[in-house]
Structure 1
Amino acid sequence: MKHINFSGLVCAVLLLSACSHLSAVDNTLRQPTLPDNWQQQSPYLAVQDDWLSEFNQAGLSALVEKALNKNLTLKQLAYQSQIEEQQVKLSGAYIWPTLDLSLSQGRGKSVEPTSYATTSSISLDLAYEIDIWGKLSDSQRQANLSYLAQKATFEQAKQQIVADVIVAWFKHLSDKQLSTLYQARVRNSEQNLDIIEQGYQQGLNAALDVYLARNDLNSERSRLSQQQANERDSNRALQRLVGEYPDAQLNIESDIPFISASLGKGIPSELITRKPELVASWYQLLAKDAALAFAHKQRFPSLAIGASLSDGGETLSDVLSPASLAWSLIGRISAPLFQGGSLKANEKIALLSLKQSEQAYLDALYSAFNSVESGINQEESLLQQYQATLAARDNAVIAEQLSFEQYQSGLVSYTTVLDAQGRSYDAQSSLIDLKNQLIANRVSLHIALGGNFSTTQLSKSEN
Structure 2
Amino acid sequence: MQTFKTPPRFTALYLSMAILAGCAASPTSQNYAQQAQADLNITEQAATEAEQVAPILLPELIGSESLNALIDQALTANPSLQQTLLTLEITQLQRRQTGADRLPDLDAGISASKQEENSTTASETSHTGSLTLSLNLDLWGKLSDRYKAAGKDVAQQRAIYHEAKNALAAEVMTAWLNSVALQHAIDIESQRLQSLEKTAQFIANRYRSGLGNLEDIDTARSAVYQSQARMAEYNEDLARQQRALGQLLGQSEVADLTELNDYPSVLLPVAALPEQNLEQRPDLQAAYFAIEANQLRSKAAYKDMLPNLSLQAALEDTASSLSSALLKTPVWSLLGQLVAPLYRGGELRAAAKIADLEIAQSYQAFRESLLNAVVEVDDALGSEQELAKRQAHISDALEAAKRTTTQYQSKYRAGLVDILDLLTVQQQSYDLAAQLDNLIYQRLANRIALGLALGLGVQA
Quick one: which of 133, 136, 143 aligns to 1:129? Answer: 136
Corresponding residue for 2:296? 290
Matches within 5 A, 1:34-45: 34=43, 36-38=45-47, 44-45=51-52
Deviations 1:352-377, CA, capped at 9 Å, x for gaps: 11111101111111211221111111
Q: CA deviation at 1:410?
A: 2.4
Deviations 1:319-349, CA, capped at 9 Å, x for gaps: 12523x2322111122223433332222222
CA separation of 1:24 and 1:309: change in aligned 2, threshold 3 A? farther
Corresponding residue for 1:24? 30
Aligned to 1:322, the other structure's residue is in SS state coil
- Structure 2 counterpart of 1:411, which letter? L
CA distance, structure 1, for counterparts of residue 275 and residue 5 of structure 2: 63
Say if 2:140 and 2:303, in contact at 8 Å, map to a contact too: yes
Say if 2:146 and 2:297, in contact at 8 Å, map to a contact too: yes
Say if 2:387 and 2:439, in contact at 8 Å, map to a contact too: yes
Q: CA deviation at 1:208?
A: 1.9
CA distance, structure 2, for counterparts of residue 197 and residue 111 of structure 1: 122
CA distance, structure 2, for counterparts of residue 252 and residue 271 of structure 1: 37
Corresponding residue for 1:236? 243
Corresponding residue for 1:397? 402
CA distance, structure 1, for counterparts of residue 298 and residue 328 of structure 2: 48
Deviations 1:292-333, CA, capped at 9 Å, x for gaps: 11222222221111122223343202312523x232211112
> Structure 1: any 5+ residue segments left out of the alignment?
454-458
CA distance, structure 1, for counterparts of residue 440 and residue 116 of structure 2: 89
Corresponding residue for 2:353? 348
Q: CA deviation at 1:35?
A: 5.3
Aligned to 1:235, the other structure's residue is in SS state helix
Say if 1:375 and 1:442, in contact at 8 Å, map to a contact too: yes
Q: How many residues align?
A: 450
CA distance, structure 1, for counterparts of residue 199 and residue 117 of structure 2: 109
The range that moved more, 93-102 or 258-267, is: 258-267
Aligned to 1:303, the other structure's residue is in SS state strand
Determine whether 1:263 maps to 2:271. yes
CA distance, structure 2, for counterparts of residue 115 and residue 222 of structure 1: 101
Quick one: which of 119, 141, 146 aligns to 1:139? Answer: 146
- Structure 2 counterpart of 1:235, which letter? Q
CA distance, structure 2, for counterparts of residue 111 and residue 383 of structure 1: 102
Say if 1:98 and 1:127, in contact at 8 Å, map to a contact too: yes
Quick one: which of 46, 52, 59 aligns to 2:59? Answer: 52
CA separation of 1:183 and 1:267: change in aligned 2, threshold 3 A? closer
CA separation of 1:429 and 1:98: change in aligned 2, threshold 3 A? same
Deviations 1:31-71, CA, capped at 9 Å, x for gaps: 223353435xx553336414533423232222222222222
Corresponding residue for 1:429? 434
The range that moved more, 50-59 or 219-228, is: 50-59
Say if 1:47 and 1:449, in contact at 8 Å, map to a contact too: no
Corresponding residue for 1:197? 204
Say if 1:397 and 1:424, in contact at 8 Å, map to a contact too: yes
Determine whether 1:245 maps to 2:249. no
The range that moved more, 42-51 or 172-181, is: 42-51
Corresponding residue for 1:331? 336
Corresponding residue for 2:234? 227
Say if 1:102 and 1:124, in contact at 8 Å, map to a contact too: yes
CA distance, structure 2, for counterparts of residue 428 and residue 23 of structure 1: 61
Deviations 1:85-109, CA, capped at 9 Å, x for gaps: 2122222211111111112336678
CA distance, structure 2, for counterparts of residue 47 and residue 399 of structure 1: 47
CA distance, structure 2, for counterparts of residue 2 and residue 35 of structure 1: 64
Q: CA deviation at 1:416?
A: 1.6
The range that moved more, 407-416 or 111-120, is: 111-120
CA distance, structure 1, for counterparts of residue 235 and residue 114 of structure 2: 80
CA distance, structure 1, for counterparts of residue 117 and residue 205 of structure 2: 116
Deviations 1:205-240, CA, capped at 9 Å, x for gaps: 222222222221111111101100111122122222
- Structure 2 counterpart of 1:195, which letter? F
TM-score (norm 1): 0.89
Corresponding residue for 1:280? 286
Quick one: which of 375, 378, 383 aligns to 1:370? Answer: 375
Say if 2:50 and 2:275, in contact at 8 Å, map to a contact too: no
Matches within 5 A, 1:290-329: 290-320=296-326, 322-323=328-329, 325-329=330-334
CA separation of 1:327 and 1:410: change in aligned 2, threshold 3 A? same
Deviations 1:114-145, CA, capped at 9 Å, x for gaps: 96553422221221111111110111011011
Say if 1:108 and 1:117, in contact at 8 Å, map to a contact too: yes
CA distance, structure 2, for counterparts of residue 101 and residue 320 of structure 1: 10
> Structure 2: any 5+ residue segments left out of the alignment?
none
CA distance, structure 2, for counterparts of residue 124 and residue 118 of structure 1: 21
CA distance, structure 2, for counterparts of residue 95 and residue 418 of structure 1: 82
CA distance, structure 2, for counterparts of residue 432 and residue 146 of structure 1: 45
Say if 1:126 and 1:308, in contact at 8 Å, map to a contact too: yes
- Structure 1 counterpart of 2:333, which letter? S
Q: CA RMSD in A?
A: 2.6
Deviations 1:126-178, CA, capped at 9 Å, x for gaps: 21111111110111011011111111222222222222222221111111111
CA distance, structure 2, for counterparts of residue 343 and residue 429 of structure 1: 66
Corresponding residue for 1:408? 413
Q: CA deviation at 1:436?
A: 0.9
CA separation of 1:72 and 1:28: change in aligned 2, threshold 3 A? same
CA separation of 1:260 and 1:318: change in aligned 2, threshold 3 A? closer
Say if 2:314 and 2:333, in contact at 8 Å, map to a contact too: yes
Say if 2:295 and 2:359, in contact at 8 Å, map to a contact too: yes
% of aligned pairs identical? 27
- Structure 2 counterpart of 1:34, which letter? T
Aligned to 2:271, the other structure's residue is in SS state coil
The range that moved more, 108-117 or 29-38, is: 108-117
